[in-house]
Amino acid sequence: MSDYYIGLMTGTSLDGIDTALVDFSGAHPRLIAATGTPLDQDLRVELLALQASGADELHRAALAANAHSRACANAVNQLLAQTGIAAQDIRAIGNHGQTIRHRPECGYTLQIGNHALLAELTGISVVGDFRSRDVAAGGQGAPLVPAFHQAIFGQAAETRVLVNVGGIANLTILPASCNVTGWDCGPGNVLMDLWTQRHQGCAYDADGAWAAGGKTLPDLLQTLLAEPWFALPAPKSTGRDLFHAAWLDAVLAGRNDAPQDVQATLCALTARTIADAARAAHPATLYLCGGGAHNATLAAMLAGELPQTRIGTTAELGVNPDWVEAYAFAWLARCCIERIPANLPAVTGASGPRILGAIYSQ
């Protein structure tokens, strides 16, 4: 019998809804189909605005959660229509929701999404709120994907490093002979996207082409790297609560650099912070996933930072880099339904293994 789950992810970049349908019935999970659905621009703007305090934000957040869940339901129904699989054949949907606050140092993390509404609209049980239990146990609630990386990619006899470059970059070290480690490295695409939108009028720097035409500014790079968060030991996590437009504008205050050179330097910041996190593992290959896996300039900078390491993508391991995180939340949903702990305390800092997620049953 099939053991179908769907994973949903709208990440820090807020560029769309990634939807993955996975069959866990065999010896190895099988990604059956995946799609990306653009996010409505008005909803995207509102979700970004909710990253900061504002007027009537509780009401606005509730309405945005409803709109987010309706968009997710449409994405799920479209994927089922494409595959010909019925809703009643899906055991559960794993819905990450949209992070609008991530403050584990204050004891909370908040991903909005009306999981009850999503269950009503799809006719499928929904698992959501994956991060709160880890935070309640003293953890960061992030990153959660290293446990998934270990389950899906950790069968090699060599040390592998996987890096998801979404809005924030997070890294997983899969050693051949000891415990998995992982943490957030810093900004992935979030600052590059912000700067591209401001100066180029487009959502992101496709293939890193704009950054490729600029030059890295060493003094600016050092100023960016002086952010105290980078010096914190793992476990650690971050998000738009720290790396946002005001943070970047404060760093650039009083400077008059060419925008393209700033873009190149922001790309170098992402490459350096990933390389600094990966360096001690001496990986033979570093596998990229997420939107940043398509940034050729970032890959070239990483190769320069890690000359003994080959830079590849998770496509070489059998999973398209665009769908790894949605796949992960299908896996996390299954762990919740099957009552399997899915956090790694060595990664998040939680006091022990925990079953993650809240179930909205049909």
178: pLDDT confidence band, cut at 50, 70 and 90?
A: confident
Token pair listed for 132:
């709160």
pLDDT in tens, 295-305: 999 999 999 99
Q: Are 258 and 215 in contact (CB under 8 A)?
A: no
3-state secondary structure the chain: CCCEEEEEECCCCCCEEEEEEEECCCCCCEEEEEEEEECCHHHHHHHHHCCCCCCCHHHHHHHHHHHHHHHHHHHHHHHHHHHCCCHHHEEEEEECCEEEEEEHHHCEEEEECCHHHHHHHHCCCEEECCCHHHHHCCCCCCCCHHHHHHHHHCCCCCCEEEEEECCEEEEEEECCCCCCEEEEEEECCHHHHHHHHHHHCCCCCHHHHHHHCCCCCHHHHHHHHCCHHHHCCCCCCCCCCCCCHHHHHHHHCCCCCCHHHHHHHHHHHHHHHHHHHHHHHCCCEEEEECHHHHCHHHHHHHHHHCCCCEEEEHHHHCCCCCCHHHHHHHHHHHHHHCCCCCCCHHHHCCCCCCCCCEEECC
pLDDT, tens digit (0-9, with 9 covering 90-100), for 318-333 = 999 999 999 999 999 9
Give me the residues paired with residue 311 across strands: 286
Alpha-carbon distance of 138 to 108, in angstroms, equals: 10
**11 has pLDDT over 90:** no
pLDDT band at 256 (very low <50, low <70, confident <90, very high): very high
Residue 177 makes CB contacts below 8 A (sequence gap 6+) with none
Maximum alpha-carbon separation in the chain: 64
Reply yes or no on whether the pLDDT at 123 is more than 80.
Answer: yes
Residue 176 has a pLDDT of 80
Show the domains of the chain with their CATH numbers.
4-140+344-360 (3.30.420.40), 145-317 (3.30.420.40)
Whether the per-residue pLDDT at 54 is higher than 80: the answer is: yes
Selection from 70, 271, 305, 312 nearest residue 186 by Cα: 271
pLDDT for position 1: 61
The stretch 79-105 carries a mean pLDDT of 96
Mean pLDDT of all residues in the chain?
A: 95
Query: pLDDT tens-digit profile of 13-53?
Result: 788 999 999 999 998 899 999 999 999 999 999 999 999 89
Mean pLDDT to the nearest integer, 334-355 = 97
Cα(295)–Cα(187) distance, rounded to whole angstroms?
A: 14
Select the more confidently predicted residue: 11 or 73. 73
What digits encode the pLDDT tens for the residues 207-216? 999 999 999 9
Whole-angstrom Cα distance, residue 179 to residue 287? 19
pTM over 0.75: yes
* Residue 89 in this model has a pLDDT that exceeds 90: yes
The residue with greater pLDDT, 158 or 160, is 160
